[in-house]
A and B are shown apart, each in its own frame.
Chain A
Amino acid sequence: MIAPDKKEMVNITLNGIEVEVPNGINAVEAAALHGKEVPHYCYHPKLSVAGNCRMCLVEMGTPMRDRASGEPILDEDGAQKIGWVPKPVIGCATNITPGMHLRTESDLVNECREGIMEFLLVNHPLDCPICDQAGECRLQEFATDYGRGYSRYIERKNVKPKRTRLGPRVTLDDERCILCSRCIRFSQEVAKDDVLGFVDRGSFSTLTCFPGKELANNYSLNTVDICPVGALTSTDFRFKMRVWFLKESKSVCTESSSGCNTLVSSREGVIQRITPRRNDLVNDTWMTDSGRELYKLVKSDSRIRRPSFQGSDLPLDDAISQAFETLRNKKIGVVASCHSTLEEQFLIKRLVEKTGAKVFIRGHFGEDDGILLSADRTPNLRGALVTELTTHYPSDHLNELNDSISDGHIEALLVIGENLQESGVNEDNLKKVSLVFLGTHQNSTSDGADVVLPGLTVFEKSGSLINRSFFLQSFEQAIPGPAGLMTDFKILARLNNLFSEDSSAPSELDEIWKALSTTETSVLKGITFLKIKKGAIQLDGSKWEDLSFVEKEALHHLPAGVTAS
């Protein structure tokens, strides 16, 4: 991978105009910084440079110097002569040096692009009408922008395998493949699961899996994202939807604490797919396959769609009142959640302060894959620390709660999404307490709750989360929630108000953030929701560096006290 030195800026001449770019970045990136597109297929900013598509050919020259003396060679006007390389060079492998001259719009460059486009299409099936990539296909885009517009090819096209199953989630059409090798490099360099390769040679080269292997790793769908053409397609998304109908909403993956930035694509309130969104500080351009499946939870059978009181449905307003009645004048315990957004956690904390309730919180842990699936399988454990819901690192059970109930210290519980039975609270104890459940999906705890308040999934609400590296990130609502429901923090604000009639709790994101950001000692001081929306904000996590976080060293994550390997 090209490692640009971002600090030092140098001057180059791009199409005759002097511009400033970081030293050492490649010509494709340098031109892009100044609004000049250098079309490319095989080059990907997060993968090694292969230089095989030849679409990014540009003209390059460097100021001439006398070989013997090192003195600049001048032309008649006294300017330093430019030694243009006689052949076009590939922009992706041409790193900027001070004084470099680049032409990205010359006749030769245009001719090169026309030629490469023609070559790429001679054996391409041109089956756009039935191709999933249509609408987001680089071949379509560059053929329109840089192609000749007509074909001179009258020979037979090559025949290659169609509809090959590369793995459980990826389907390959070899005839559409332009052999850019992005998927191969991704598998080797990022997923570290080297299973793809080319067989045969020349124009008959074919992408395939190694014998006995399949593309089954948890990052396989990234190959579909980076495939510039319709060769690799998602088996899940295949033939479902034309991409130009999709509405894209910026979201954050809640699968684990890595906090991958995502785009949730939906049409008419139905999510069709989730794809990664580039963030060079967090997830580059990748995300897990398992994270892409999360949208299926929205329509899951176990989804809680209606508020209920002792088994019978009732309007949400009444349910909130019932919740208040169930909890008031009792020794309250609150089971908070690391799945809640920062804003929700803030309101839970406020509720706890108003009621004197005792807070219990548990973590959910799994294997750390060292890439983007971290051992902490909740998106916002650090939010619970920042909002001071807890000062110690959550363990994976609620035994303490069980003891408190046994000892009679807890008479009523507000549970946010957790399954208490699976967290070490025994059935008999649960029967002793009154229970209010706020969550998105049914579990044995919600089944036994007196009041059930339906929550919204991450796709149906807005908020913010703090990832494993203490990056504060926001996500936006992608689709509307089920009819008649209210976003979680509004329910919590209502509950807050019922418990403390003298002061009203903030019930809009801006208001919540006004409260969050004014605490003098908080790491959130001075932050507004608008600011988070503009991009991830690095928080100072040094206050918690003594806690033993479970995350290992991974892509863009270095645990405190660990030096990069």
Chain B
Amino acid sequence: MSVSTPKERRIILKHADDPKYSNRIGCYLREGGYENLKKAFSMKPEEVGEEVLKSGVRGRGGAGFPAGMKWKFLDRKSGKPIYLICNADESEPGTFKDRQIMYKDPHQLIEGMMITAFAIGAKQAFIYIRAEFHEGARILEQAISEAKKAGFCGNKILDSEYSCDLVIHRGAGAYICGEETGLIESLEGKRPNPRIKPPFFPAVLGLYQCPTIVNNVETLCNVRHIIEMGGEEFSKIGKPNNTGTRIWCVSGQVMKPGYYEFECGSLTLGQLIFDVCGGLRPGRSLKAVIPGGSSAKVLRADERFSGTLKDGTEFDWGLEDIPLDFDGPMAAGSMSGSGGIIVMDDTVDIVEAMANVNAFYAHESCGQCTPCREGSLWMRKISQRMCSGGAREEDADLLLSVAKQIEGRTICAFGEAAAWPTQSFVTKFKEDFIRKATDAPKERDPKSLQLI
């Protein structure tokens, strides 16, 4: 590696591992908390929005859509109330960044949310938190009541005429509750069946058919820092179109898994795995990496990626050269998604890995639309059969075909989330799938880990 590995730059997780820092409001105020709320309240709401647009901050929930742009789509002419929802349903396998923020620095999120609510003119804000985060919900409840007492949230914020209530809503325990419109349905008290778009774009017809902004926890936290630095200054962090820092959640067979916050594009996947995370376990070699949560397409260790970036520069990368930002993994045919990097070494049975991913998506499909409902379970049944000694040579092609019949034909992006892993695993590791049919024993190895 020619360049030395940069140091972490912690903005969002600045206090995450500080033993002297707690999640109580005292600590937050000591470190300059809620000063940016005051600053935002001295501005006009449109100016706040303008700063966020200038910062170029992209959504951290997975799709990477510019947050400032999203706010611009908000339908302000309808006269209906505007809602702000924080998507804290972090449920993409391999992702655990929002949890760190909420557990360790909840006031940062509240401040970011209140600035955002002020900017978009919301009178009611929600934090839709993943059902399994019991403790997180408790911490946030405590933080909100502290913030309300101190006048940072709720009635007449900072003694201004602006009020915005903030409530916690415990999720319904399903992956699909993290899908924007599924989340809205769930918040309304229904099954989280994602809505059809058109016509139900949240910015126009969201919660209770009113204009609604749904942002990820990390995105909303960034808003606080954008106000602190100014949009212009924030946009200098990272790279153009990939501004700010990103929290990478590394899991799998590395020596030091965990969360690491870096400026966008400041290091490569190789640097993250081998330097920051201490490399693989002794004697192991890298087999594959999923770069952005389980729904991202898998990358093979010996793959080459070449092409032209958006700015016109040509690239020819190995897996380790992929820059960690939004556009890098995208250029490599996958995505940075929610930042969940899953590392697999040569001991991993790739078919079993895919079987587990398939089992997850079959279990989590809401069942509303046909391709996802039937396709995800079918893929699961095929892959489990393959792992149980019943593999056939034609199964690889069948899996690809089923995945293709799902992709792009569903109501929400779950279709792609379920199809992409299968497509990439089978295409890139076809020999492993064929070998399952030709060489593998006709019974499942009793020593292998239990399939989900």
Are B381 and A155 neighbours in the complex by a CB distance under 8 Å?
yes
User: How many positions in chain A have a CB within 8 Å of any CB in the partner chain?
Assistant: 36
Binding stretch for chain A, among B37-45, B191-199, B225-233, B239-247: B191-199
Are A54 and B409 neighbours in the complex by a CB distance under 8 Å?
yes
Are B382 and A93 neighbours in the complex by a CB distance under 8 Å?
no
Residues of A within 8 A of B191 (CB): 197-198
Contact of A202 among B371, B377, B404, B409 (CB under 8 A): B377
CA distance A54 to B381 in the complex (A): 22
Q: Fill in one digit per residue for B404-425: 1 if any A CB lies within 8 Å of its CB, else 0.
A: 1100111100000000000000
Chain B's closest residue to A157 (CB) is B381
Residues of A within 8 A of B363 (CB): 202
CA distance A179 to B374 in the complex (A): 11
A195 to chain B, nearest CB (A): 15
Chain A's closest residue to B368 (CB) is A52
Instruction: Check: B174 CB closer than 8 A to any chain A CB.
Output: yes
Are B405 and A88 neighbours in the complex by a CB distance under 8 Å?
no
CA distance A90 to B411 in the complex (A): 9
Residues of B within 8 A of A158 (CB): 377
CA distance A62 to B32 in the complex (A): 52
Instruction: Check: A537 CB closer than 8 A to any chain B CB.
Output: no
Residues of A within 8 A of B398 (CB): 152
The 4 A-B residue pairs whose C-beta atoms are closest, nearest first, are: A115-B405, A205-B367, A119-B374, A155-B381
CA distance A112 to B406 in the complex (A): 9
CA distance A179 to B373 in the complex (A): 10
Instruction: Check: A49 CB closer than 8 A to any chain B CB.
Output: yes
A2 to chain B, nearest CB (A): 10
Contact of B371 among A86, A115, A201, A205 (CB under 8 A): A115
Instruction: Check: A156 CB closer than 8 A to any chain B CB.
Output: yes
Are B367 and A201 neighbours in the complex by a CB distance under 8 Å?
yes
Are B409 and A52 neighbours in the complex by a CB distance under 8 Å?
no
Instruction: Check: A516 CB closer than 8 A to any chain B CB.
Output: no
Instruction: Check: A122 CB closer than 8 A to any chain B CB.
Output: yes
User: How many positions in chain B have a CB within 8 Å of any CB in the partner chain?
Assistant: 33
Instruction: Check: A375 CB closer than 8 A to any chain B CB.
Output: no
25 contacts between A and B (CB under 8 A): A50-B196, A51-B369, A52-B370, A52-B411, A54-B369, A54-B411, A87-B408, A93-B199, A112-B409, A119-B373, A119-B374, A120-B374, A123-B374, A123-B377, A155-B378, A158-B377, A179-B373, A198-B191, A198-B367, A201-B174, A202-B376, A202-B377, A203-B365, A203-B376, A205-B367
Are A122 and B374 neighbours in the complex by a CB distance under 8 Å?
yes
Instruction: Check: A53 CB closer than 8 A to any chain B CB.
Output: yes
Instruction: Check: B362 CB closer than 8 A to any chain A CB.
Output: yes
Are A178 and B408 neighbours in the complex by a CB distance under 8 Å?
no
Are B405 and A118 neighbours in the complex by a CB distance under 8 Å?
yes
CA distance A51 to B409 in the complex (A): 11
CA distance A311 to B404 in the complex (A): 78
CA distance A50 to B378 in the complex (A): 24
CA distance A152 to B399 in the complex (A): 11
Instruction: Check: A495 CB closer than 8 A to any chain B CB.
Output: no
CA distance A52 to B409 in the complex (A): 10
B74 to chain A, nearest CB (A): 19
Instruction: Check: B375 CB closer than 8 A to any chain A CB.
Output: yes
Which residues between 43 and 92 of chain A lie within 8 Å of chain B, taking CB atoms?
49-55, 57, 86-88, 90
Q: A54-B409, A153-B378 are in contact. Are A202 and B385 (CB under 8 A)?
A: no
Instruction: Check: A357 CB closer than 8 A to any chain B CB.
Output: no
Instruction: Check: A523 CB closer than 8 A to any chain B CB.
Output: no
Residues of A within 8 A of B401 (CB): 152
Instruction: Check: A204 CB closer than 8 A to any chain B CB.
Output: yes
CA distance A118 to B374 in the complex (A): 9
Are B367 and A57 neighbours in the complex by a CB distance under 8 Å?
no
Main secondary structure on B side of the interface with A: helix
Known contacts A51-B369, A52-B193; 12 further A-B pairs (Cβ under 8 A)? A52-B369, A54-B369, A54-B371, A57-B409, A87-B409, A115-B409, A123-B374, A123-B377, A155-B385, A197-B191, A202-B376, A202-B377
B394 to chain A, nearest CB (A): 9
Are B374 and A88 neighbours in the complex by a CB distance under 8 Å?
no
The CB with the most chain B CB atoms within 10 A, among A54, A93, A122, A158, is that of A54
CA distance A86 to B376 in the complex (A): 23
Chain A's closest residue to B378 (CB) is A122
CA distance A325 to B141 in the complex (A): 93
The CB with the most chain A CB atoms within 10 A, among B366, B369, B404, is that of B369
Instruction: Check: B364 CB closer than 8 A to any chain A CB.
Output: yes
Q: A52-B411, A57-B409 are in contact. Are A201 and B365 (CB under 8 A)?
A: yes
CA distance A179 to B366 in the complex (A): 11
Are A203 and B196 neighbours in the complex by a CB distance under 8 Å?
no
Q: Fill in one digit per residue for A210-235: 1 if any B CB lies within 8 Å of its CB, else 0.
A: 00000000000000000000000000
CA distance A86 to B371 in the complex (A): 18
Binding site for A on B (CB under 8 A): 174, 191, 193, 196, 198-199, 362-371, 373-378, 381-382, 385, 398, 401, 404-405, 408-411
Which residues between 177 and 215 of chain A lie within 8 Å of chain B, taking CB atoms?
178-179, 197-198, 200-205
CA distance A87 to B408 in the complex (A): 6
Are B377 and A203 neighbours in the complex by a CB distance under 8 Å?
yes
Q: A90-B196, A155-B378, A205-B373 are in contact. Are A116 and B366 (CB under 8 A)?
A: no
A228 to chain B, nearest CB (A): 12
Q: A87-B408, A115-B405, A202-B377 are in contact. Are A120 and B364 (CB under 8 A)?
A: no
Residues of B within 8 A of A201 (CB): 174, 364-367
Chain A's closest residue to B362 (CB) is A202
B119 to chain A, nearest CB (A): 25
Are A119 and B375 neighbours in the complex by a CB distance under 8 Å?
yes
Residues of B within 8 A of A156 (CB): 381
CA distance A53 to B372 in the complex (A): 10
B41 to chain A, nearest CB (A): 35
Residues of A within 8 A of B366 (CB): 201-202
Residues of B within 8 A of A152 (CB): 398, 401
A354 to chain B, nearest CB (A): 64
Residues of B within 8 A of A205 (CB): 367, 373
Contact of B370 among A53, A197, A198, A204 (CB under 8 A): A53
Chain A's closest residue to B416 (CB) is A87
CA distance A56 to B193 in the complex (A): 19
Residues of A within 8 A of B405 (CB): 115-116, 118-119
Are A53 and B369 neighbours in the complex by a CB distance under 8 Å?
yes
Residues of A within 8 A of B408 (CB): 86-88
CA distance A198 to B174 in the complex (A): 15
CA distance A495 to B122 in the complex (A): 79
Residues of B within 8 A of A200 (CB): 367
B189 to chain A, nearest CB (A): 13
CA distance A153 to B410 in the complex (A): 21
Residues of B within 8 A of A55 (CB): 370
Q: A93-B196, A119-B405 are in contact. Are A54 and B377 (CB under 8 A)?
A: no
Chain B's closest residue to A88 (CB) is B409
Residues of A within 8 A of B376 (CB): 202-203
Chain A's closest residue to B369 (CB) is A52
Which residues between 322 and 352 of chain A lie within 8 Å of chain B, taking CB atoms?
none
Chain A's closest residue to B195 (CB) is A51
Residues of B within 8 A of A90 (CB): 196
Residues of B within 8 A of A202 (CB): 362-367, 373, 376-377
CA distance A205 to B362 in the complex (A): 12
CA distance A51 to B368 in the complex (A): 9
Chain B's closest residue to A206 (CB) is B367
A126 to chain B, nearest CB (A): 14
A545 to chain B, nearest CB (A): 38
CA distance A155 to B390 in the complex (A): 11
Chain B's closest residue to A181 (CB) is B368
A159 to chain B, nearest CB (A): 13
Are B409 and A204 neighbours in the complex by a CB distance under 8 Å?
no
The CB with the most chain A CB atoms within 10 A, among B196, B198, B368, B371, is that of B368
Chain A's closest residue to B373 (CB) is A203
Contact of A116 among B193, B362, B409 (CB under 8 A): B409
Q: Fill in one digit per residue for A145-168: 1 if any B CB lies within 8 Å of its CB, else 0.
A: 000000011011010000000000
Chain B's closest residue to A201 (CB) is B367
Residues of A within 8 A of B193 (CB): 52
